Amino acid sequence: MWAVLNDEHTQGIIELVNSNNDRIIAIIGGAMLEESLTQTVAERLRAGNTANKLLGDGALGTAGSKVDMLYLLRAIDKPHQQAMQSLLKVRNFFAHHVTTSFNSTNGKFVAAMKDLKLHEGRRRYPHHYLNDESAASKIGKIRNNRDKFTVNLRLALIALMRDRLRHETNSNTPRSDETVAAEWAAFLKRLEEERGLPLAKRE
């Protein structure tokens, strides 16, 4: 399961998962990360013109500055900060090099890929809502740089979604784990009612 921000992200994930084109994967993945960063920071700020200005052409106008702000707000930890900055560097590398791939030996690209370490020591993705990782999907085998980028992107998007769920919108007021878990249970119940699919048979 991916952390989906909106319907456009759903389409982006489908294209990313089904594509064999490295550029498409890097560019779409980077765009999804940037949009999620903007939404996550926005939901930490008081809504209004001041926030819009900061997130537009102001101090928080770049994706990198949004990553750093989330780190300062303790929304993400140091490994996630480093990985998200590196994901953005990989995206930018593909955006500025017409003929390249995840097999590139360019020094800056290699350094950025080396800093994608969110998967290390993990067997499963974190669950979006729950703190129980046994309820989440397993991380597949990482065979190459493309897999490494995709897995770290997925982990980054989940981390951002988890933050959005764990505080009141447009504030830094935390929400309890019980409240978040109850929302997940209600979501599953709605799916069961809409699709007629017993929860026990859902993955």
Domain boundaries of the chain, sorted by first residue = 7-172, 176-203
- Assign residue 101 a region: left if phi > 0, alpha if psi is -120 to 50, beta otherwise? beta
| CA dist., res. 47 & res. 110, Å (int) | 39
Distant-in-sequence, close-in-space partners of 184: CB < 8 Å, separation ≥ 6: 128, 129, 130
CATH T-level assignment (fold) for domain 7-172: Four Helix Bundle (Hemerythrin (Met), subunit A) (1.20.120)
The pLDDT tens digits along the chain (203 residues) read 778 778 888 888 888 888 999 999 999 999 999 999 999 999 999 999 999 999 999 999 999 999 999 999 999 999 999 999 999 999 999 999 989 999 999 999 999 999 999 999 999 999 988 888 777 899 999 999 999 999 999 999 999 999 999 999 999 999 999 999 999 899 888 888 887 756 554 44
pLDDT for residue 203: 44
